A = this chain, B = another copy of it.
Amino acid sequence: STQGLVQLLANAQCHLRTSTNYNGVHTQFNSALNYKNNGTNTIDGSEAWCSSIVDTNQYIVAGCEVPRTFMCVALQGRGDADQWVTSYKIRYSLDNVSWFEYRNGAAVTGVTDRNTVVNHFFDTPIRARSIAIHPLTWNGHISLRCEFYTQPVQSSVTQVGADIYTGDNCALNTGSGKREVVVPVKFQFEFATLPKVALNFDQIDCTDATNQTRIGVQPRNITTKGFDCVFYTWNENKVYSLRADYIATALE
């Protein structure tokens, strides 16, 4: 099923390039699934991408700037003429240097009329930045509307910060029981979504009461703008100072 998947063309999430165009109104602009023109406007072109040269070297390639997981390709004929692609092969590239042929270039079954959409689910998901449909056989002319279905993508943004410090001879160096020192931290720039924060020690200066080390650091009150860095110890331990770094990552 294509439920929950991204329609790459419909969402304008890719660049589109074609080998040739029949003319300026038979281009990739008209290649989205179910693309329909105004029936009474004679100059708005084709209800499909139509190549100019008609041979097995034609293609339409969709390019993304971030890698995507392609699950399915959908094919459809030309809405306003008896032209469609009856078989095609798929080529793709992840690094945009080396290209691969799906099923070693074997023909994938296309369509047999103007408007029926035929989905082909890939045997295994294809990880790629660019992917191309290469028509192999056709009816009337190389004309097609198409769609690629991909998994939704997640972007991650990471900010790193160094040297969150309790200060010398901090409050953890006296008293007993659970004690904490709170250092507010501001991110370099605001995250768009709530980040996860990892903290780690990069300097430790503590007294080990009865040979037991007891130190900790935790984020508290995480927002998109910053967090409170909580250094702590407990029991009889004395801590002269602690220092930590953070790694904060937000996904969306």
Question: With the chains together, A194 CA to B29 CA distance in Å?
Answer: 37
Chain B, Cβ-Cβ closest to A3: B97
Q: Does A225 contact B (CB under 8 A)?
A: no
Question: With the chains together, A245 CA to B43 CA distance in Å?
Answer: 62
* A65 adjacent to B62 (CB under 8 Å): no
Q: CB within 8 A of A198: which of B65, B162, B208?
A: B162
Q: Does A103 contact B (CB under 8 A)?
A: no
| 8 further A-B pairs in the complex, CB-CB below 8 A; given A12-B16, A21-B29 | A9-B17, A12-B62, A20-B37, A38-B54, A155-B157, A162-B197, A204-B213, A211-B211
Q: CB within 8 A of A43: which of B5, B23, B69, B202?
A: B23
* A205 adjacent to B213 (CB under 8 Å): yes
Q: CB within 8 A of A247: which of B12, B38, B160?
A: B160
* A94 adjacent to B211 (CB under 8 Å): no
List which A33-76 residues lie within 8 A (CB) of chain B. 35-38, 41, 43-45, 52-54, 61-67, 69
Question: With the chains together, A192 CA to B127 CA distance in Å?
Answer: 8
5 A-B pairs with the lowest CB-CB distances in the bound complex, closest first:
A12-B63, A24-B24, A200-B200, A198-B245, A203-B216
Q: Which residues on B sit within 8 Å (CB–CB) of A23?
A: 24-25, 41, 43-45
